[in-house]
């Protein structure tokens, strides 16, 4: 793997590395994005961030908010497989946004990239609601990735306030224990606004992706919709989509 581009700014080291057509963005040695336009499935955590869109009929996901752009891998996956009308990507790091545009080709009328503090941006947002929110806000600490915003009651309340009536939140956590102690799954009444919840993971990562939906859905529906897309159908050899899924309890039954 070769270094295609690098920069040191304010004590932060950025690198774009390339192997064939595969690009990776590293910040202080932490991998923030990986994408290959010829093989859009990564086999890693980024696949889990767009995958939940298939819990709903494709036409249901028209507006998507991505918090934490990095190089924009999940945005490109959403564009290819889901094709929403509008994707808004928020990132505090101007270098990340520049890399997303320059190297990962995250450009077009359907994408708006905004440099902003995600918490402050969500607090001030008063526009059209989103059908899907991807919370992938991570930073690095001692060379290890960690969530940049704690998923407490205040954060969950802010995100649900930006959702459409039957929207979903997809939230990336560094581990399953971190997911399980989040406000999405505590005893606060806020959790009652979700009708379905799932934990997605892969064998390649420790990450736990929580999916919280304001509509009753099943894993069978997910599998059936994925099965209609050859590149996403796990039963096909050409597909690289590999995931594990568990149902989470969000309401008293």
Out of 10-24, 58-72, 233-247, pick the least confident: 233-247
Domains of the chain in start order, with CATH, are: 39-247 (3.40.50.150)
Cβ distance 209 to 134 under 8 Å? no
Residue/partner pairs of 117-125 with CB below 8 Å, 24 or more apart:
117/92, 118/67, 118/68, 118/90, 118/91, 118/92, 118/148, 118/149, 119/149, 119/155, 119/158, 121/90, 122/67, 122/158, 122/159, 122/161, 122/162, 123/158, 125/162
**Secondary structure (DSSP) of 11-50:** TEEEEEEEETTEEEEEETTEEEEEE-TTS---SSHHHHHH
Distance CA 191, CA 199 (A): 15
- pLDDT tens-digit map of 78-128: 999 999 999 999 999 999 999 999 999 999 999 999 999 999 999 999 999
Q: Which residues contact 220 (CB under 8 A, 6 or more apart)?
A: none
What is the predicted pLDDT for the residue at 49? Answer: 98
- pLDDT tens-digit map of 123-139: 999 999 999 999 999 98
What is the predicted pLDDT for the residue at 55? Answer: 98
- pLDDT tens-digit map of 20-47: 999 999 999 999 999 999 999 988 999 9
* Most confident of the following: 51-65, 184-198, 237-251: 51-65
- Tell me the CA end-to-end span of the chain in Å, nearest whole number: 51
CA of residue 24 relative to chain centroid, distance: 16
What is the predicted pLDDT for the residue at 8? Answer: 96
Residue 252 pLDDT greater than 80, yes or no: no
Mean pLDDT of the residues in the chain: 93
What is the predicted pLDDT for the residue at 251? Answer: 55
Q: pLDDT grade, residue 253 (50/70/90)?
A: very low
What is the predicted pLDDT for the residue at 50? Answer: 98
Percentages (nearest 5) of helix, strand, coil residues in the chain: 30, 35, 40
What mean pLDDT comes out for the span 217-227?
Answer: 96
What is the predicted pLDDT for the residue at 83? Answer: 97
What mean pLDDT comes out for the span 188-211?
Answer: 87
């Amino acid at each position: 793997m070769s270094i295609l581009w690098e920069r040191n700014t304010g004590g932060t080291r950025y690198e774009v590395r390339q192997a064939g057509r595969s690009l990776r963005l590293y910040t202080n040695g932490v991998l923030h994005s990986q994408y290959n336009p010829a093989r859009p499935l990564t086999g890693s955590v980024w696949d889990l961030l767009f995958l939940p869109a298939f819990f709903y009929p494709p036409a249901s996901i028209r507006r998507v908010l991505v918090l934490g752009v990095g190089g924009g891998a999940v945005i490109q996956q959403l564009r290819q497989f889901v094709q929403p009308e509008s994707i808004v990507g928020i990132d505090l790091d101007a270098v990340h946004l520049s890399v997303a545009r320059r190297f990962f080709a995250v450009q077009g009328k359907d994408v708006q990239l905004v440099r902003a503090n995600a918490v402050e941006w969500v607090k001030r947002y008063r526009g059209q609601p989103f059908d899907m929110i991807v919370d992938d806000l991570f930073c690095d600490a001692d060379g290890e990735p960690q969530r940049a915003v704690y998923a407490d009651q205040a954060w969950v309340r802010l995100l649900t306030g930006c959702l459409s009536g039957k929207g979903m939140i997809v939230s990336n956590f560094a581990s399953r224990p971190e997911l399980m102690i989040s406000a999405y799954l505590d005893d606060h009444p806020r959790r009652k606004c979700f009708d379905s919840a799932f934990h997605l993971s892969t064998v390649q990562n420790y990450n736990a992706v929580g999916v919280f939906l304001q509509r009753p859905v099943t894993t069978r529906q997910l599998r059936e919709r994925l099965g209609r897309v050859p590149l996403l159908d796990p039963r096909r050899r050409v597909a690289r989509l590999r995931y594990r899924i568990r149902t989470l309890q969000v309401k008293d039954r």
